[in-house]
Amino acid sequence: MRRLKRLGQRALVAILGLVTVWLILVLFYDVADRRLPLVLALASTYAAAAYLILPRAIRLGARILNRGRVPSYTLTGDGLPGDPVNVALIGTCDELRRAFVQAGWTQADPLGIRTSWRMACAFVLNRSYPGAPFSTLYLFDRGQDVGFQQPIGDSPRRRHHVRFWGISIERAEETVDTVAFWLASRRPADSERSLWIGAATKDVGFSLTRLSFQITHATDADTIAERAFLVRELTEHGRIGPVRYHLPGERLSIGTVNRYVSDGLVAVAELSQGPADPLRPDGSALSDVPVKSD
């Protein structure tokens, strides 16, 4: 029965793929080619395929396959694996912001039309943009709650960065090591002690996403080194307590929370309360903090 179900799912995905190709090449490109010059026809076909047709087809295909498993990765808007989950910090959002600001990192600007345009200009012209926004990745059925970055040089093309998703201590207490842990939950209040699950990676240039071919940052494959870099940064500035590493399926004691499950090795630490330096509404410190680079 299981094999028959799998065959049925693959058949539906294959049909979906054929329909997608037909939409792009036969319907959209044929119409564009008859009405526009060749260059514009190709450009408009690429834009429609990469940002409209393929993302929806990929999401539908992922639902058909019904991937019900505990993720070791975040998800992109297309439903594909994104950055790996590799760090978990315990404390309030205010403590999280203060830790990164005092370590010389910058909180990412919210993603919007204005910030996206500024980011695109900085990326193309190789200009500085310390608070460049992040693309949205998903965990707990929502985009990241907060993100931080440290530029490498003066361009947003290369940077250390980490996204965080918060889960309240109370909700974490009630979960078990199943997919249910990763289902929808609310964002904790800034003053609420929470578990902040993070995905730390390093951008090294630009590339195209798999399957949908959207323009995006290229990411260094060595996320172990990036996790070590982030831990070292926070430790050297006294912003976290002792770090412990947990293997998949191990019980993780974080005060009153029973466990935390991941398919990858996760660095776990308590945030240090430290001195309560005032923060601006965007999370930056009132005092000038230099942004470091490699």
Quick: pLDDT tens for 141-178.
788 999 999 988 777 778 899 999 998 877 666 554 55
> What's residue 207's pLDDT?
57
**Position 260 confidence tier, pLDDT thresholds 50, 70, 90:** very low
> What's residue 222's pLDDT?
82
Do 22 and 148 belong to one domain?
no
Confirm whether 292 is domain-assigned.
no
Do 137 and 101 belong to one domain?
yes
Is the pLDDT at 286 greater than 50? The verdict is no
Task: Please say whether the beta carbons of 98 and 278 come within 8 A.
Answer: no
Q: Where are the alpha helices (DSSP H) in the chain?
A: 2-21, 30-35, 38-48, 54-65, 93-102, 113-125, 169-173, 223-236
Do 35 and 125 belong to one domain?
no
Do 126 and 176 belong to one domain?
yes
- Per-residue model confidence as pLDDT tens digits over 55-69: 667 666 666 655 444
In the sheet where 142-143 sits, what is the strand order?
A: 81-84, 73-75, 138-139, 142-143
Task: Please say whether the beta carbons of 283 and 105 come within 8 A.
Answer: no
Confirm whether 132 is domain-assigned.
yes
191 or 35, higher pLDDT: 191
Fill in the DSSP letter of residue 24. I
Do 155 and 184 belong to one domain?
yes
Confirm whether 277 is domain-assigned.
no
Task: Please say whether the beta carbons of 74 and 139 come within 8 A.
Answer: yes
Do 60 and 85 belong to one domain?
no
Q: Which of 250, 271, 288, 286 is nearest to 100 (CA)?
A: 271
Do 166 and 248 belong to one domain?
yes
Q: Which residues contact 10 (CB under 8 A, 6 or more apart)?
A: none
- Residue recorded with tokens 């399926």: 249
- Residue recorded with tokens 């399957």: 211
Confirm whether 150 is domain-assigned.
yes
> Which of 45-49, 66-70, 81-85, 221-225 has the weakest average pLDDT?
66-70
Q: What percent of the chain has pLDDT over 70?
A: 66
User: Residues 59-76, buried b or exposed e (16+ Cβ, 10 A)?
Assistant: bebeebeeeeeebbbbbb
Confirm whether 163 is domain-assigned.
yes
> What's residue 247's pLDDT?
57
184 or 221, higher pLDDT: 221
Q: Which of 250, 157, 265 is nearest to 204 (CA)?
A: 157
Over residues 30-43, mean pLDDT: 78
**Position 275 confidence tier, pLDDT thresholds 50, 70, 90:** low
Query: Which amino acid is present at 149?
Result: Q
- Per-residue model confidence as pLDDT tens digits over 244-257: 887 544 545 544 33
> What's residue 153's pLDDT?
79
Range of the domain at 104: 73-270
Sign of CA dihedral 215, 220, 221, 224: negative
> What's residue 274's pLDDT?
59
> What is the domain count for the chain?
2
**Position 118 confidence tier, pLDDT thresholds 50, 70, 90:** confident
Is the pLDDT at 294 greater than 50? The verdict is no
CA angle 221, 227, 230 (to 5 degrees): 125
Over residues 178-198, mean pLDDT: 79
- How many Å apart are CA 164 and CA 182, to the nearest integer? 14
Is the pLDDT at 43 greater than 50? The verdict is yes
Do 52 and 160 belong to one domain?
no
Tokens linked to 131: 């608070």
Do 104 and 61 belong to one domain?
no
Do 232 and 166 belong to one domain?
yes
